[in-house]
Structure 1
Amino acid sequence: MALDIKRFTARFVDEARDHLRKVEDGLAILDADPTDSETVNAIFRSAHTVKGSSRMLKLVQITETAHKVEDVLGALREGSLAWTPDLRRLLQRGIDALGAQVDMVAEGGQPSEPDPALCAALAAVLGNAPTEPASAPQQPAAPSAAPITEATTPAAAPPPEVRLKSADTVRVQLTKLDELIRLMGEVVSSHARLRQRLVDIRQIERDTQDLGEQAQITGFARDLREDVFSQELLMDELHAKALVMRMLPLAIVLEPAARLIRDLGRSLGKDVECAVVGTEIELDRQLIDRLNDPIVHLLRNSVDHGIEDAATRKAAGKPAFGTIRLGARQDGGWVVVEVADDGGGLPLPAIRDKAVRKGLVTAEQAAAMPDSEAIDLIFSPGFSTSSIITEVSGRGVGMDVVKRTIVDDLQGVIGVETVPGKGTTFFLRLPLSLAVMRVLVVSAGGQSFGFTAQYVAQLLELPPTRLLSVAERDAVVIDNEFIPVVSLAGVLGLPEGRPLRNTLLLVVVRVRNEKLALRVDELLDERDMVIKPLPEHLRHLPLVAGMVMTGRNTLVSVLHAPVLLDMARRARTPAVQAGTGNQPAAVRVLVVDDSLNTREIEKDVLEAHGYVVTLAEDGLDGLQKARAGDFDAVLTDVEMPNMDGFSLTAALRQEERYRERPIIIVTSREKEEDKRRGIQVGADAYIVKGDFDQSSLVDTLRSLLG
C-alpha cells in the first residue's frame, strides 16, 4: 500500500518544530556549560530525528541540511570538535535554515534547496570541504585564525523579507484535553436541569387559576424555553467541537496490521496477504487505545484458525495464499470495523461438539441449536476448538477478551458471518465516542434505569392480548419472531408496581442475535447523556455499566444489556448446567521435568491456585508415578533423560485412565514440526518456555479441565 505523504505532513511539521526548539534550548544551555554531555546528546538526537523523519517523507532538501547539522553535532559529541562562540552561531544558522524549510512545508509548498554557503561552512568545520563552494563568487580571504567562515551577501542583493510565523496547530497534553471534555460533559448534564425547570413551570402554568398570573407565567415559560433551546444548540456544538479534538484516524490501529498478519503467517508456515481500507475513519482516542488488543486477537485467530494451509487451499480451488481484509466504515453515528478472511469458515460441528464436551449444552440442545447460537459459543470463556494449545491460540481466552472489551468496556456490538469453505467476517460496531451516548431512561419497580441506544432494538406498546405463553414463558411475536417477555422489575428482584396503563409497554433489547422484551412502567427520557463511570469500589458489579444524571439531580443506573440477558436466561432455565462444575475440589497434577528450577516454579504456580502437585524428574519417573497414582492432568517437558516428553505422552495415551486426561507439553522447543509432533502423540496443549507466564499456564489448565 503506497504511503500517503500528505496525511503525515502536519505531524512532521509539529514534531520538527518541537525538535528544533529543543536544539535551540540546548544551544543556550551549552553557552553556559559547554561540557554538558547530556545536552549535546539530546540535541544530536533531535537533529537526527528531523533528518530521519524528513527522509521518510522524501523531503530531501530538509534531509540534506539536517544531515550537515547532525554531522557537526556528532563531532561535538565525540569530542573531536570544541565548543566556541563561532560554532554556536553556525549551528544557530543551521537551525534557522531548517526552521525556514519546515515553514515552507507547513504552508503546503516544497522546502527550499539547502543553502550552499551554510553547507560549505558546516563541512569546513569538520575539515572535509573547502571553506566556500566552488561555484560561489570569490570572497576576500578570511583571517587564518578564524576556524569558521561566514559567507557575505552581495551588496546588490535585496534584504530578505522578515515576518513572524505562527503555527496553525498547538500541542495539548492529553490529560488537559480529557479534563476539557469531562467539564463539557458536566455542562451537558447540568443542562438537563434547565429542561426540567421547563417541565416544572408548565405544570405551574396548568395549575394556576388566576388568568393574569397565568398569562405572565406563559410569557415567562415561552422566553425560558427559547433561551434553553438556544443555549442547547450552542452547547451541543461546543461539545461536538471539543470531542473532535480527541478524534484520531483508525490508521493508528489498522495500518500496522498488514505486517503483523504477514509475520504471523510466516511463523505458521502460511502465505497471508492483508488488505486494509478505511484508515481515514476517525474514533475517539479512548476507544482506539482499547481497540488494539481485540483487533490483534481477531487477526491471530483468522491467520491461525481461518486461513488453511496452501495444500488445502489448492485442493479447494483457492489461491495458495490467504487474504485477510481489515476495514472500517461509517454507519450513522457508529463505526463498523470488519475483519474478514477467505479461509474455511467456522467449524460449526466442532463448535457444537466442544460445547457438549465442556458441559455448556446437552447433545440434544447442540443438535437443535441454530448456527447463530452455535457461533455465539466461541465467545464463551475458555472456549476453543483448536486441537492443541500454543502461544498463538487455542487457550480459549482470545475471543472472550474480544467480547469483554468490545461489548462490556466499549459499549459496542459484535456480529459474525461465516460461510463453510468461503471464510468468516467479524463485525465490530462501535460508538464514535464514549464521552456522550444516547440513553433511554425507563421506570420499573418504582425506580429509574437507563439503556444505551445500541442495545435498544424497538419500543412497543401492545394490547395484553398480544402476549403468548410459549414453553411456560411469556412471549410476543414481532416481525415473525418469538421474543421472550419478562418484567424488568422481576429480573432485578424489585417489587412489581401497580399497572399505570391497560397496555404492555415493552423495551426490546438486542445483544448480537438474541432479543428480549422487557416490560417497563414508563418511558421517562431519551437523549444524549454523559455516562459517568462507577466509583472504584463498585466496578465489580457487572450489571451496571455506569450512571447518568437526571434533571432532578438524581442518579440513574445504566444497565448492561448482555448481563441482563444472561440473568433473564438463567431465570427462564433454573435447572441449566446441572451437570457442570463437577471438577474435584483438589485437582491433582503431575509435573514432569528434568530441571529442578522448572519443576519448582511450576509447582509454586499451580499450588498457589489450589492444585495438588506431584513432581517427577524425567519421563520414565513420570510414567511410573502416573501408573502408580491417579492424576487429573500431566505437565511434561520434552528433552529429558531416560524417556522424552513425546514418548511419555504417547505411553500415557495407551493407558485407559489417561486416554482423555489433559496433557500439556511445556518445552523450549518452538519449531512447527515439534508442535505437530505434540499433536500426533496426543498432547492437548503446547507451551513454549520462552513465552511462559503464570496466567498462560493456569488459564490453559483451567480451560482443559473445564
Structure 2
Amino acid sequence: MEMSQYLDMFIEESKEHIQAINDNLLVLENDPENISIVNEIFRSAHTLKGMAATMGFEDMATLTHEMENVLDQVRNHNLHVNTDMMDVIFKCVDLLETILYSIAGGGDGKEDVSAVVLLLQAILKGEPIAAVHTPAADQDSAAGEAAAASLIEEKQENLYSFDDYEITIIEQSIETGHHVYWIKTFVRDDCVLKAARAYMVYDNLESLGEIIKTTPSVEELEEEKFEKSFEIVLVSKESLEKTEKTVMNVSEIESVVVEEINLKNHRQESMRTEQQQAVPPASSVEKADREKAGKEEKTAPQAAKKATTGKTIRVDIDRLDVLMNLFSELVIDRGRLEQLARESGQSALTETVEHMSRISGDLQNIILTMRMVPVEQVFNRFPRMVRDLAKDLNKKINLEIVGAETELDRTVIDEIGDPLVHLLRNSLDHGVEHADERRAAGKPEEGLVQLKAYHSGNHVFIEVKDDGKGINREKVLKKAIDRGIVTEQGAAALTNKQIDELLFASGLSTADKISDVSGRGVGLDVVKTKIESLGGACGVDSIPGVGTTFLIQLPLTLSIISAMLVQVENEKYAVPLSSIIETAVFSPDQIMHAHQQDVIDFRGRIVPLVSLKSIFNIPDNEVRKDEDIPVVIVRKGDKMAGLVVDSFIGQQEIVLKSLGKYLVNAFAISGATILGDGQVALIIDCNALIK
C-alpha cells in the first residue's frame, strides 16, 4: 500500500490520540479505580498502535502494544494503578510524542524504546521497576496458541448475518456454480503489523474471486480496529482447500477457518446459534474479553460510523492560507472598485459595487471563521506540564481551565503557546507556595492556578491566575535597582501597579537561585515582546497574600485588520484601530514642551507627541505654522503617545502584507497594504513608537 498520501492524516489523528491519552491519564491519576477511563486510554492506545503498524512505524507500534498489555491487565483487575505505573506510562506518552514529532519533521520515526518496553514488561509481571527482566516469550506464545485453539473450537457458534442485497448476491452466485466461503482468519499474538497482514489476506483472496462482506469493515481493518481475528465472505470458483492455502501463505497468520455457506440452512443455523448464545462458553477467551468490554465495545463501531458521517471535514491549513491570500487580493480589488465607482458617478456601477462589497464582507466573515480554532488546542498540553512541574517543585497544584472553547485565528494560536508556558511556570514557581507555607497562611494545601480565556469585542483575553503569595514588591524593586532598570529616586515615585509591571523588564528575575524552572533572567520580558509583536498587550495585577493575575489581550485575527488611514505629506500610512484611543485636532497654542519633547494635555494626562514626518524622514514640502494639528492618540498598555499627521483619510479594512525578508528590521513598520488606488501604504507599529 502507498502510505505517503495518508501521512498527514496519520500525524493529525495521532496527535489527537496522544492528547486524549495524556488527558485521561491525568484523570486516572486522581481516580485510580475508574475502569471506564482505563478503557478510554486502552482504546486510544489500541487505535494508535493500529495506525502506526499500518504506516510501518514499528517502534511506535511496539511501544503502544506493550502499553496495551499493561492497560488490559488493569481493566481486567489483575493490576492496580500506582505511582510507578503512572510515571512509566507518562514516559511512554513522552516517547510517543518524540516519535510523532520526528515523523512530522520528515524523520523515519525510529526511536530506542527498549528501556521503556522493559519497564512495562516488569509492571506486567508484578516485578519492582528496578528489577527489569526480558519476558518469557515461550509462555506468551503458548498462551496465544491456547487462546487461538479455543477460538477455533467455537467456529460453529459464529453467526454470520446478511442483508437482503447480500443474500441475493449469494443466491445468484450459488446458482451460477460459484462457491461462497465464510473465512475467519486468526493473526498471531506477536504480530505487530496486523492491519498490513489483514490487507495482504484481503488482497490474496480478492485474486480468487469477489469479496462481498468483511467483519469488521474494510475501513476498520485498515485502522486495525480488530483484536485477533477478522471475517471475510468470498464468492469464488476455487476449492475450499486452495482458499485456505491462499490465506495461510501470508506470514504471521496463526490459523484460518473456511466454511462453505449454505443459505438453505442459514435461517435454521441462525436460530440455533441465538439459542446457544444464552449460555456463554467458559473456554472462550475472546468472548470473555468481549463481555468485560460491555456495551461500549459493541457501540464503538456505530459511534465511529456516526462520526465519519458528520458535518465536518478536515482541511489542510495550507489550503486555508491560500484561500485567505486570494481573498486578500479580492479585498484590495474591492477597494479599487469602490474608488472607481465613486469617481465615475454612475449609479448602476455604484449599486453593483455596493452589493459586491456586502457579499464579499459576508465571505470575509466566513473565511475568518474557518480559520478560527479553539484555544483548547494550546491549553490541552498544560495539565500534563503542570502535573510534572508540581511534582518537581514538590507542590500540590490544581490547574483549572476555563473557556477552552474560545476561538482565535490559527496564526495567533501558533504563537501563544510559549508565552503561556512562561506565565504558568512563573505562577507555579514564584506564585503558589509550598504546602507548609499555605497551611501557615490559613490556605488549603493545594494551590489553584486558573487558565481562563474569553472574548471581549474584537479581542480575546487570556488570564493566568494563581492564589499564591502575590508579588514581593520590595524584592522586585531591589532587583530592578541592582540591575539599573530604575534609579533609587525613580523607584520611590513608582505606584504598586508600576512596580508589578517591572516584572516584564528585560533580564529581571526574583529567583534566589538558578534552576531548571527559573532564575536565568529570561521569561516575562520574552512574553511581553511576543504578545506585543502579535498586536496584543499584557499586564499584571497582584494582591500580596491573595494571588497574582497575568492578563493577555490578543487580536482575533492578524490577516485582515481595521485601520485608520492617515496622510503625511504625499505618503499614506495605516494605523491599526486596535492601538487607537481617539483622533483629535489640536491648535498650535495647545502644544506644550516638556523634557525636550512636545506634549499635549489629553484629558488630564500629559501625552508626548511623535511626529511621523521626523520618524520616517519625510521631506517637508510646505510650512504649516498656524494650522491645526491632527493627532492620533495611540496606546501600548498604560502608556500613550500622540502621532502627528497632516490629515485623516478615514477608516478602512486593510490586508496585512509582509515587507519580505530584506526589510525585516524596518523601524516602527509592521507591514504594508495595497490601497484602492494602487498605492502602497505602510502599516505603523505603534508599540515600537511608544517608549
Shared fold by TM > 0.5? yes
Partner of 2:365: 240
Q: Which one of the candidate residues 185, 192, 198 is aligned to 2:335?
A: 192
Distance of 1:80 and 1:230 partners within structure 2: 59
Unmatched runs of 5 consecutive residues or more in structure 2: 1-22, 28-35, 76-159, 161-183, 234-239, 245-256, 271-307
1:149 aligns with 2:149: no
Q: Which one of the candidate residues 496, 500, 503 is aligned to 1:371?
A: 496
Distance of 2:627 and 2:437 partners within structure 1: 62
Q: How does 1:604-615 map to 2 (within 5 A)?
A: none
Distance of 2:59 and 2:432 partners within structure 1: 47
**Change beyond 3 A, Cα 1:330–1:144:** same
Structure 1 stretch displaced more, 520-529 or 485-494 = 485-494
Q: Which one of the candidate residues 453, 469, 476 is aligned to 1:344?
A: 469
Q: How does 1:434-445 map to 2 (within 5 A)?
A: 434-445=558-569
Letter in 1 for 2:472: P
Partner of 1:701: none
Contact conserved, 2:186 with 2:230, CA < 8 A, in 1? Answer: no
Q: Which one of the candidate residues 555, 558, 562 is aligned to 2:683?
A: 558
Partner of 1:432: 556
TM-score calculated relative to the size of structure 1: 0.59
**Change beyond 3 A, Cα 1:281–1:72:** farther
In the comparison of the two structures, how many residue pairs are matched? Answer: 475
Partner of 1:180: 323
Distance of 1:43 and 1:307 partners within structure 2: 37
Partner of 1:330: 455
**Change beyond 3 A, Cα 1:540–1:69:** farther
Letter in 2 for 1:560: D
1:96 aligns with 2:217: yes
Distance of 1:416 and 1:40 partners within structure 2: 46
Letter in 2 for 1:386: A
Contact conserved, 1:40 with 1:76, CA < 8 A, in 2? Answer: no
Distance of 1:359 and 1:390 partners within structure 2: 24
Contact conserved, 1:543 with 1:563, CA < 8 A, in 2? Answer: yes
Q: Any idea what the Cα deviations from partners look like across 1:234-262, whole Å, max 9, x if unmatched? A: 11222222222222111111122122123
Partner of 2:535: 411
Letter in 2 for 1:335: V
Distance of 2:415 and 2:330 partners within structure 1: 26
Partner of 1:448: 572
Contact conserved, 1:87 with 1:148, CA < 8 A, in 2? Answer: no
Q: Which one of the candidate residues 419, 423, 448 is aligned to 1:298?
A: 423
Q: Secondary structure at the match of 1:546?
A: strand
Contact conserved, 1:338 with 1:428, CA < 8 A, in 2? Answer: yes
Letter in 2 for 1:462: F
Distance of 1:290 and 1:175 partners within structure 2: 17
1:320 aligns with 2:441: no
**Change beyond 3 A, Cα 1:432–1:91:** farther
Partner of 1:421: 545
Q: Secondary structure at the match of 2:259?
A: coil
**Change beyond 3 A, Cα 1:80–1:177:** closer
**Change beyond 3 A, Cα 1:342–1:500:** same
Q: Secondary structure at the match of 2:313?
A: coil
Alpha-carbon shift at residue 101 of structure 1 (Å): 14
Alpha-carbon shift at residue 99 of structure 1 (Å): 5.7
Distance of 1:332 and 1:150 partners within structure 2: 69
1:276 aligns with 2:401: yes
Distance of 1:332 and 1:480 partners within structure 2: 27
Partner of 1:398: 523
Contact conserved, 2:431 with 2:467, CA < 8 A, in 1? Answer: yes
Alpha-carbon shift at residue 100 of structure 1 (Å): 12
Contact conserved, 2:481 with 2:488, CA < 8 A, in 1? Answer: yes
1:249 aligns with 2:374: yes
Partner of 1:171: 314
Distance of 2:351 and 2:681 partners within structure 1: 28
Alpha-carbon shift at residue 69 of structure 1 (Å): 8.8
Alpha-carbon shift at residue 384 of structure 1 (Å): 1.4
Q: Secondary structure at the match of 1:280?
A: coil
Alpha-carbon shift at residue 390 of structure 1 (Å): 1.8
Letter in 2 for 1:481: R
Unmatched runs of 5 consecutive residues or more in structure 1: 27-37, 59-64, 103-113, 126-141, 158-164, 202-217, 567-706
Contact conserved, 2:337 with 2:676, CA < 8 A, in 1? Answer: yes
Distance of 1:270 and 1:469 partners within structure 2: 54
Q: Any idea what the Cα deviations from partners look like across 1:570-617, whole Å, max 9, x if unmatched? A: xxxxxxxxxxxxxxxxxxxxxxxxxxxxxxxxxxxxxxxxxxxxxxxx
Structure 1 stretch displaced more, 80-89 or 282-291 = 80-89
Partner of 1:265: 390
Percentage of identical aligned residues: 28
Alpha-carbon shift at residue 469 of structure 1 (Å): 4.0
Q: Which one of the candidate residues 338, 345, 355 is aligned to 2:480?
A: 355
Alpha-carbon shift at residue 311 of structure 1 (Å): 2.6
**Change beyond 3 A, Cα 1:43–1:364:** closer
Q: Secondary structure at the match of 2:214?
A: helix
Letter in 2 for 1:187: L
Distance of 1:546 and 1:92 partners within structure 2: 59
Q: How does 1:19-98 map to 2 (within 5 A)?
A: 75=191, 77=193, 83=201, 93-96=214-217
Letter in 1 for 2:502: L
1:286 aligns with 2:411: yes
Q: Secondary structure at the match of 2:315?
A: coil
